[in-house]
Amino acid sequence: MRMTSVRPLRPPPPPEPPALHVRAMDNLAFIRDTMEAAGSFTAVSGWGMVAVGALAAIVAVIAAQRPTAFGALEVWLASAFFLPIVMLAAIVEKARRAKMPLLSGPARKFVLSFSPPMVVGALLTLVMYQGGMVAAIPGMWLLLYGTAVVAGGAFSVKIVPVMGVCFMAAGALALFSPVSWTPWIMGAAFGGLHILFGIPIARRHGG
Amino acid sequence: MAKHGAARDDARAHDTARGGGIRRAPARKQGELDRLIHERLRLGIVSALAVNDSLSFSDLKKLMKTTDGNLSVHARKLEEADYITCTKSFEGRMPKTQYRLTAIGRRALEKYLDHMEALIRATRER
């Protein structure tokens, strides 16, 4: 049996067009997504890295003057509190200048991938410090910092994971080289690598 | 293979972009929305170029997931308004079309971003 379809006398009203602010937010999201897909913008601040590198080089010189490995470790531990603050301030400033949300999709992924190795590093530092394995701590730091940068850098521009690999290489070198080399490897890595990679990131990838 | 494909894209850009005099974008009143970059594809082109020194025709085509003709037409409109510049060259025998954002284009994008932010702010303040 064939049934004819029922056509309403009055067509249903067209759906309400989206409000202006909804369209504005949609446009901003589109711009952000396109910039991220274009792949050249990184939330990582190149100038922040240069600043961190310069400060780390000063820290390395101070740490190298301490007579014991414990003393040097204390200097680096103190710097571990203020160097991330410098970097964070630079990242916030870069995002503000670029009018990008601080925690955009890739930036959120970067933080989520970067954090676990850093947490592991903090816990291992405690355990190794208590176990008297102080000499191995700088190498472990470099290895895990490099791991964090490689993992986080998978969602960033290519140069970021390359920097992470360099930190991992420096970590491996620190673990298997004489203890007397450690302060210089730390200085060359945290100071030199940050400056070396920070300048091209700043020039080519938005500051 | 892919390189040849990209070169073909650039060759098409060479062809499509030919002809027609340069027309300037009409002057806008203060606070008026920039219709030129309000259109999605053009907004995408300007946004992508804002975070890159330059992009080739094939880069933009891949990024915008659009056709040669569509991209050429919209890029041409942006070029006419001096928002982007187009440089044509040859890599060996292959034509290459590179686009760059101009200072005018960057300012237009910034103004557009401000405009969008103002719209959102105005709604929140209501």
* pLDDT tens digits, one per residue of B87-124: 998 878 888 899 999 999 999 998 998 888 888 888 77
As a whole number, mean pLDDT of residues A166-178 equals: 94
Residue A67 and residue B78: Cα distance in Å, rounded?
64
- Residue where the block lists tokens 């390359």: A162
| pTM of the model as a whole | 0.58
Q: Do A99 and B117 touch (CB under 8 A)?
A: yes
Eight-state DSSP code of residue B2: H
Contact B51 A38 (CB under 8 A): yes
Residue A71 CB partners (closer than 8 Å, separation 6+): A63
Inform me whether the pLDDT recorded for A26 exceeds 50. yes
Q: What pLDDT is stored for residue B82 in this prediction?
A: 95
Q: Could A34 and B43 be called an inter-chain contact, meaning their C-beta atoms sit closer than 8 Å?
A: yes
What is the ipTM score, two decimals? Answer: 0.75
> Which residues in chain B touch residue A24, judged by CB atoms under 8 angstroms apart?
115-117, 119-120
CB B64 within 8 A of CB B44: yes
- Closest residue in chain B to residue A19, using alpha carbons only: B123
Helix (H) or strand (E) holding B115: helix B103-125
Domain B2-125 -> CATH class: mainly alpha
How do the domains of chain B map onto residue ranges?
Answer: 2-125
Whether residues A27 and B43 touch (CB distance < 8 A) is answered with: yes
Helices B40-50, B57-64: inter-axial angle, 10-degree rounding: 120
Count residue pairs from A and B with Cβ separation < 8 A.
56
The pLDDT of residue A116 is above 60: yes
Q: Which helix (H) or strand (E) holds A30?
A: helix A20-38
Q: Which of A134-143, A156-165, B28-37 has the lowest mean pLDDT?
A: B28-37
Query: Is B113–A35 a contact, with Cβ atoms under 8 angstroms apart?
Result: no
Which of chain B's residues have a Cβ under 8 Å away from the Cβ of A206?
51
